[in-house]
Amino acid sequence: MGTVSASAMSGRHPRAAIAGEVRVGALGLPGDLTVPAAAGALVVFAHGSGSSRLSPRNRTVAEALNRAGIGTLLFDLLTVAEEQDRANVFDIPLLAERLVDAVRWLDLQPELNQMQPELNQMQPELNQMQPELNQMPLGLFGASTGAAAALVAAAALGTRVGAVVSRGGRPDLAGAALPKVRAPTLLIVGGDDFGVIELNQDAFDRLTAPKDLAIIPGATHLFPESGAMEAVIELALGWFERFLVAPARGGAG
């Protein structure tokens, strides 16, 4: 069951702390939205093929971002019916469209009225927080095929996306969208993820935005090795703080 809490913060526009289940977009895709009090940015996650918003690795990253004061939205990119067709999990344009829709849902809805009915008693606090949510610096985090979807979505959304991080991704599948991405992009790949390193290097070469390619020694595709996910978190957090949080606070980008 989702929960919402609101706490008064110092400053002219206090922001509620939100942690709740949401239904994203016109399709009502299930998701989990967490916005810490005084959050400095928001990151939308795109899971890989065969996964969902419940991906333990993505949730580990999201929890670390939340502890650092960055909000997160994890949601299912496909409906239950769509998941039955294996081709859909590799349909990058479809997955990217769902990400774009999620960002527009966050930005354009007048209030967070998709939350569970029992949470509506907190609606005044949500309404007070919503304008800040609309204007919050936004990043995308994609894993596996979700990384390609994140890059295609970033190209479509232009300057609305301030940073992109790929974890063990297939950014090469973003194809012609790669040179159109304007958001600073970090590609993280395991040093023992043979074949995928080369695909990331090819995609890296096609990116024209500020970029970096980080190879974690000894890590394989899912980063199960000791210390591998910790390295992913450190890299991702540093990237989002540099390109989302610091510029919003007037720091160096």
What does the alpha-carbon distance between residue 109 and residue 25 come to, in Å, rounded to a whole number?
9
pLDDT at 86: 81
The alpha-helical segments, DSSP class H, found in 172-242 are 196-206, 228-240
pLDDT of 69 reads 93
pLDDT tens track for 91-113: 999 999 999 999 999 886 544 44
With CA atoms as reference, report the closest residue to 166 among 196, 208, 136.
196
CA dihedral 132, 111, 52, 99 (to 10 degrees): -70
Pairing of strands 18-24, 161-167: unpaired
**Residue 15: pLDDT over 80:** no
Instruction: Please tell me the distance from the alpha carbon of residue 132 to that of residue 134, in angstroms, as a whole number.
Output: 5
Average confidence (pLDDT) over 143-156: 97
Question: For residue 212, what pLDDT is reported?
Answer: 99
Q: Are 33 and 126 in contact (CB under 8 A)?
A: no
pLDDT tens digits for 226-238?
999 999 999 999 9
pLDDT score recorded for residue 48? 78
Tokens 């194809």 -> residue: 175
Closest CA to 194 of 215, 179, 171: 215
pLDDT above 60 for 153: yes
| 158-181 as b/e: b if 16+ CB within 10 A | eebbbbbbbbbbbbbbbeebbebb
CB atoms within 10 A of CB 224: 11
Provide CB contacts within 8 A for 115, sequence distance 6+. Answer: 2, 4, 20, 21, 22, 126
CATH number of 3-248: 3.40.50.1820
Q: Which amino acid is at 52?
A: S
Q: What is the pLDDT of residues 188-219, one digit of tens each?
A: 999 999 999 999 999 999 999 999 999 999 99
Per-residue pLDDT at 243 = 98
Identify the residue whose tokens are 């985090």: 141
Residue 35 near residue 242 (C-beta atoms within 8 A): no
pTM of the full structure:
0.85
pLDDT > 70 in the chain, percent:
81
pLDDT digits (tens, 9 = 90+) for 20-72: 888 898 899 999 999 988 888 999 999 877 666 777 888 999 999 999 999 99
